[in-house]
Chain A
Amino acid sequence: MLLEYVAIAILIALATFIALAAVLMGELFGPKRRTAVKAEPYESGMRPIGPGTRRMPVRFYLIAMLFILFDIEVVFLLPWAVAFRQLGVFGLVEMLIFIAILLVGYFYAWRKGALEWE
């Protein structure tokens, strides 16, 4: 019974090993020329401006929440698209119900003014 879990243990060990190996090998064998510029935080290639711990407008949280709403939608839509033929009409109806529920949430957020920045 416990033997069934050995595969998982091997997977965990292997994953840990590969991750550690990748990091350590670069550290051991890679050339190192440290400069002040390289030690700066990475900001998409720009020179960083100001401190990293600025206060963010709370509106970003709203945007993040809306993003999650649609992100989850995609997470479910993608496997459905892959298995569309097998699922048939049943899958289509289920998905339409799911999207309708999400749209209710979207409509609610819209009417409440969550999409307006000002």
Chain B
Amino acid sequence: MTAADFSLFLPLAVLLIWATVLLIVDLFIPKERKGWTASLSALGLALTLFLSLRQWGETASGFGEMLRVDPFATFINALLLLSGLGGVLLAYGSIRRHGVERGEYYTLLLFSVSGMMLMAQARDLILLFLGLELLSIPLYVLAAFALPRLDSEEAGLKYFLLGAFASGFFLYGTALLYGASGTTLLSGIAQAWSQAGRNLFFLVGAALILVGLGFKVALVPFHMWTPDVYQGAPTAVTGFMAAGAKIAGFAALWRIFTEALPGLAPDVTPILWALSALTMLLGNLLAIAQKNVKRMLAYSSIAHAGYILMAFVPFGVPQVRDVALAAGLFYLITYAITNFGAWAVVSALERQAGQGLELDDYAGLGSKAPALALAMTVFMLSLTGVPPTLGLIGKFYLFRSVIEAGFYGLAVLGVLTSLISAYYYLRLVVIMYMRPGEPQPVANPWLNLTWGAMAILTVLFSLIPAPLFWWASQSVLR
């Protein structure tokens, strides 16, 4: 353990200490001034973001290879910390109105973000598991944060039970990989694979890990919890969870499979292909049937997990691997931005006790609150992937890399499911503009800032996506 180790660990350590101290500081902040807690947590996230970005370009391992700083980790960390900031904004703009303003919210959020960062940086399965739990446990509590509202409690319990079950899968996979290779280090597992060759332990272990992480990012056979949890959890939590947990889960998936099990590609690729196809298809088809906007967006987030997984299918094709991963990273940014925007709009229209969340509640928004409706239209178009939005550019890069790798069927399926998704995204736009109604949007400055900033970012990056894509392509795993 050296000073160099600690300089690698610095951003994460700062965030963890900040969160721990904030837990105590919050006890002395009176109930009507929880804005202080919110701003302190935002300050901690911003400080960590600064420290994390200072590591940009660095590539080093510490703590006996267990912790890694590379452009990939820095990229994911930056994205996660920005999601955390978005989560704080969204929460400060909405939780007081719903009477669930408690200071612990922000502490739990910070802990969850540090777990996510650990998942992006860890190169050891035990450490990855630690990150997974540190990410999940605060999220279980946050999902139930609107107690005594019953649906929120239900969401928390459901997420907890199924999440604990999925963690078991991940842990069992870890145990099998350890049994096959005698180490939990990703590099050690890769070494053992090249010596031992095809072995049932590797295959089953990798499959179990895929199941465990597939649950976290809501891939289709493991998605059952998503609609209920996303609907029941407070909207601010859902927005944060939909972005953060997905980013961290995919980061871990990418790192484990490219660093530890590259030789497994011929076996895993068809499975990933099928998972991606199923997720896109089912997510988009089921979203059509939803009357509740939160449920609709939950299914849409499942479908987007399918698109992101697409970037991962060609990981066994060396020429395309890097381009595909860059496309996936780019898609994560576009998804995070539009996701936060959409959830902020949902939050602005939500009234007490889960009211104002039906599709019909959006009728007449176009004339009543033109700016809000315009922002929502931008997000919906971008989620569909209508030209010339950010969503289209993200999907274009994805489909192109999949085609280059020779998976034509998957690309065709991606285009077809995007067409299906246009139906329910645009239906919301039509309802907002064409149908008369009396919506009651809330004008909270922080919510306005969230959806406003996200709408501007979506438009801005739609016009000039090149710097973002350059950044993503610099951040691939090597």
Binding partners A and B: yes
Give the docked Cα–Cα distance between A43 and B27 (Å).
41
Give the docked Cα–Cα distance between A101 and B23 (Å).
11
Residues 1-42 of chain B, each 1 if its beta carbon lies under 8 Å from chain A, else 0: 100000000000000000010011001000000000000000
Q: Is the CB of B27 within 8 A of A111?
A: yes
Chain A min CB distance to B396 (Å): 47
With an 8 A cutoff between CB atoms, is A108 at the interface? yes
With an 8 A cutoff between CB atoms, is A104 at the interface? yes
Closest Cβ neighbor of A104 among chain B residues: B20
Number of chain A residues close to chain B: CB under 8 A = 8
With an 8 A cutoff between CB atoms, is A84 at the interface? no
Give the docked Cα–Cα distance between A112 and B20 (Å).
16
Closest Cβ neighbor of B196 among chain A residues: A1
Chain A residues, Cβ within 8 Å of B1: 90
Which positions 426-467 of chain B face chain A at CB distance < 8 Å?
none
Number of chain B residues close to chain A: CB under 8 A = 6
Residues 270-289 of chain B, each 1 if its beta carbon lies under 8 Å from chain A, else 0: 00000000000000000000
Closest Cβ neighbor of B20 among chain A residues: A104
Give the docked Cα–Cα distance between A108 and B111 (Å).
16
Give the docked Cα–Cα distance between A79 and B196 (Å).
36
Most buried by A among B1, B27, B196: B27
Chain B residues, Cβ within 8 Å of A90: 1
Q: Is the CB of A101 within 8 A of B24?
A: no
Chain B min CB distance to A12 (Å): 16
Interface residues of chain B: helix, strand, loop or mixed (majority): helix
Q: Is the CB of A104 within 8 A of B27?
A: no
Give the docked Cα–Cα distance between A101 and B24 (Å).
11
Interface residues of chain A: helix, strand, loop or mixed (majority): helix
Give the docked Cα–Cα distance between A108 and B23 (Å).
7
Give the docked Cα–Cα distance between A11 and B20 (Å).
43
Chain A min CB distance to B198 (Å): 13
Chain A min CB distance to B374 (Å): 44
With an 8 A cutoff between CB atoms, is A67 at the interface? no
Chain A residues, Cβ within 8 Å of B23: 104, 108
With an 8 A cutoff between CB atoms, is A70 at the interface? no
Closest Cβ neighbor of B27 among chain A residues: A111
Residues 348-370 of chain B, each 1 if its beta carbon lies under 8 Å from chain A, else 0: 00000000000000000000000
Residues 87-116 of chain A, each 1 if its beta carbon lies under 8 Å from chain B, else 0: 000100000000001001001100110000
Chain B min CB distance to A18 (Å): 26
Chain B min CB distance to A19 (Å): 24
Closest Cβ neighbor of A112 among chain B residues: B27
Give the docked Cα–Cα distance between A104 and B20 (Å).
7
Chain B residues, Cβ within 8 Å of A1: 196
Residues 1-33 of chain A, each 1 if its beta carbon lies under 8 Å from chain B, else 0: 100000000000000000000000000000000
Chain B residues, Cβ within 8 Å of A111: 27
Give the docked Cα–Cα distance between A111 and B20 (Å).
15
Give the docked Cα–Cα distance between A47 and B60 (Å).
67
Give the docked Cα–Cα distance between A112 and B31 (Å).
13
Which positions 163-201 of chain B face chain A at CB distance < 8 Å?
196
Chain A min CB distance to B147 (Å): 13
Give the docked Cα–Cα distance between A113 and B385 (Å).
51
Q: Is the CB of B20 within 8 A of A107?
A: no
Residues 149-170 of chain B, each 1 if its beta carbon lies under 8 Å from chain A, else 0: 0000000000000000000000
Chain A residues, Cβ within 8 Å of B196: 1
Give the docked Cα–Cα distance between A13 and B27 (Å).
53
Chain A min CB distance to B10 (Å): 16
Chain B residues, Cβ within 8 Å of A112: 27
Closest Cβ neighbor of A101 among chain B residues: B20
Closest Cβ neighbor of A108 among chain B residues: B23
Which positions 244-290 of chain B face chain A at CB distance < 8 Å?
none
Give the docked Cα–Cα distance between A104 and B21 (Å).
8
Chain B min CB distance to A35 (Å): 43
Give the docked Cα–Cα distance between A104 and B1 (Å).
26
Residues 76-90 of chain A, each 1 if its beta carbon lies under 8 Å from chain B, else 0: 000000000000001
Chain B residues, Cβ within 8 Å of A104: 20, 23-24
Give the docked Cα–Cα distance between A61 and B259 (Å).
43
Give the docked Cα–Cα distance between A101 and B1 (Å).
21
Give the docked Cα–Cα distance between A101 and B13 (Å).
13
Chain A min CB distance to B199 (Å): 8
Give the docked Cα–Cα distance between A90 and B5 (Å).
15
Closest Cβ neighbor of A90 among chain B residues: B1
Chain A min CB distance to B130 (Å): 14
Give the docked Cα–Cα distance between A108 and B1 (Å).
31
Chain B min CB distance to A5 (Å): 8
Give the docked Cα–Cα distance between A1 and B192 (Å).
13
Chain A residues, Cβ within 8 Å of B24: 104, 107-108
Closest Cβ neighbor of B28 among chain A residues: A111
Give the docked Cα–Cα distance between A1 and B179 (Å).
9
Closest Cβ neighbor of B21 among chain A residues: A104
Chain B min CB distance to A75 (Å): 17
Q: List 11 A-B contacts (CB under 8 A).
A: A1-B196, A101-B20, A104-B20, A104-B23, A107-B24, A107-B27, A108-B23, A108-B24, A108-B27, A111-B27, A112-B27
11 extra interchain contacts, Cβ-Cβ under 8 A, other than A101-B20, A111-B27? A1-B196, A90-B1, A104-B20, A104-B23, A104-B24, A107-B24, A107-B27, A108-B23, A108-B24, A108-B27, A112-B27
